[in-house]
Amino acid sequence: MSETIDIKSKETWERAKQIYLSTLSSAAERGQVERYLETITSVMHENGVFVIFVTNDYSASFLRDKYSDKLKKCLELVSSEGKVDIEFRTSERAKPAIVVPSEPPPVAASVSPPRAHAKAPPLASTMPLNEEYTFDNFVSGKSNSWALAAAQGVVSNPGKSGYNPLFIHGGTGLGKTHLMQAIGNELKKKNPALNICYLTAETFLNEYVNALQNGNLESFRKRYRKMDLLMVDDVQFLQKGRQFQEEFFNTFNALQQAQRQIVMTSDVAPKNLPSIETRLISRFEGGMVQEIESPNYETRLAILKKKSEAMVPSIPDNALEFIADTIKSHVRAMEGALNRVRIFRMVESTTPLTNDVLTHMLRDYIEKEKSLRSLTVEEIQQSVAKRFHVSIDQILSAERTQSLVTPRQMAMYISRKYTTRSLPEIAQSFGKTHATILHGVKNIEKRLDVEPDLKSILNEVLNEFGCSLKDNLD
């Protein structure tokens, strides 16, 4: 089967993909899936088989192992044929976003044999950088000016000790990934020959496990230790595991000693990372640590102006002000609201965007902001205690029987994922450390994936507050 454009399959695939993405309630997972799906170069359909071409072997095997079944079901939903099959292949014309030469150096392009017959050179599985994530597109404000300055410092002096590593932390949807990739995009522009690698902590871990299983540990090491810029996103997902942390520690040291730049992001400060060994934490703290906070009104408005600059039809100022005024939790929600206004302008170009029209159009965003922000941790504890037939005192106690740990951690999870309460505030309301809260949240997150009963209990509790699973603030 040759690799050509097949419009109809592409449409079917796009619809199936959208359905699948809409089933993912965790933004972290959605982000991860989206990044892998971005490596798709084309889609073919023949004899009931959808063949999906991607840019690299790693993506192909990851998508195959983790998502084949689910994507297949979604394809069956939207395709006119009842049963379909799905196959992931590495595209022969693929050109990864950033090609990182690996040992041994590849033969010069002009003398290399045709790709199809050559053994594909092993590429570092850098995930593609979003070209929109640049410094130009990043709006500076009080909430992020230090982090921005630090990121620009890295670009001027990559690898220099004051900025190495750069660790950016802050809540979801506040621009960490954007800023990190801006560093990558800018350095790549300045010097296309640099070895640049961007990946999530989870992918890094997967790579390591694969290397371990296939006995390729040496090439794994070589590959990462020759990076000029290594960006690891969402390090809060690094798992406990001595062996991997040891490996990470060594890679980290090797890069630092060679004055190669490391940038990391996380939703918490290094000292609150739940499962990271202390020696790694002190390494993370050894360079520059900067936080991004929630933007204030002026910054929210400036971000909306920037995002709507090129929109056709244009979005009137009063609509931007309305969004900046009502949606405060994070930039991603603001973007969703802006997009809805844009679509409305496209189809209803003559209806004036009065406050009434906007309130009606964005009512679910507004409701969510209200209900989520007004929820207190105490209300959540009460509601969860009632549902599990335990007392508030038991929830707050240190007793560790499973019948108490579950409601306790569930209350932590709801407080963290469904309200805009800060981590210190939540920790205080539970009388626990930040790390304990994060551990509890993570534990519930894992269990929700495999315990449908727990998920339905969570939904019940949320319903009481007029929310549902999809209102997760991630």
Quick one: what does residue 332 bind among Mg ion, ligand ADP, none, with the CB cut-off 5 to 8 Å set by partner type? ligand ADP
Number of residues near ligand ADP (by CB under 6 A) = 16
Instruction: Report the nearest approach of ligand ADP to the CB of residue 351 (Å).
Output: 27
Asked if 165 is part of the footprint of ligand ADP (rule: CB under 6 A), the reply reads no
Smallest gap from residue 324 Cβ to ligand ADP (A): 13
Which of residues 150, 182, 303, 426 is near ligand ADP by CB under 6 A?
Answer: 303
Residue number, 178 or 300, with CB nearest to Mg ion: 178
Measured from the CB atom, the residue of 71 and 174 that comes closer to ligand ADP is: 174
Residue 183, interface with ligand ADP (CB under 6 A)? no
Single residue of 158, 173, 274, 287 touching ligand ADP by CB under 6 A: 173
Q: Which residue has the tokens 């990739």?
A: 181
Contact partner, 30, from ligand ADP, Mg ion, none, Cβ < 5-8 Å per class: none
Q: Which is nearer to Mg ion, 30 or 340 (CB)?
A: 30
Chain Cα centroid distance, residue 178: 11
Site residues for Mg ion per CB under 5 A: 176-177
Minimal distance in Å, beta carbon 228 to Mg ion? 22
Tokens 């871990």, residue located? 205
**Residue ranges in 111-140 that form contacts with ligand ADP under rule CB under 6 A:** 137-139
Q: Which residue number, 176 or 307, has a Cβ lying nearer to Mg ion?
A: 176
| Least distance to ligand ADP, CB of residue 201, Å | 13
Q: Contact with ligand ADP (CB under 6 A): which of 91, 144, 245, 415?
A: 144
Per-position x/- string for 313-332, each x denoting binding to ligand ADP as judged by CB under 6 A, each - no binding: ------------------xx
* Contact residue for ligand ADP among 172, 203, 261, 406 (CB under 6 A): 172
CB atoms within 10 A of CB 452: 9
Kindly write out the interface string for residues 329-348 of this chain, putting x where it contacts ligand ADP by CB under 6 A and - elsewhere: --xx--x-------------
Nearer to ligand ADP, 169 or 408 (CB): 169
Region of 54-62, 64-72, 167-175, 211-219 interacting with ligand ADP (CB under 6 A): 167-175
Chain positions contacting ligand ADP, by CB under 6 A? 137-139, 144, 172-178, 303, 306, 331-332, 335
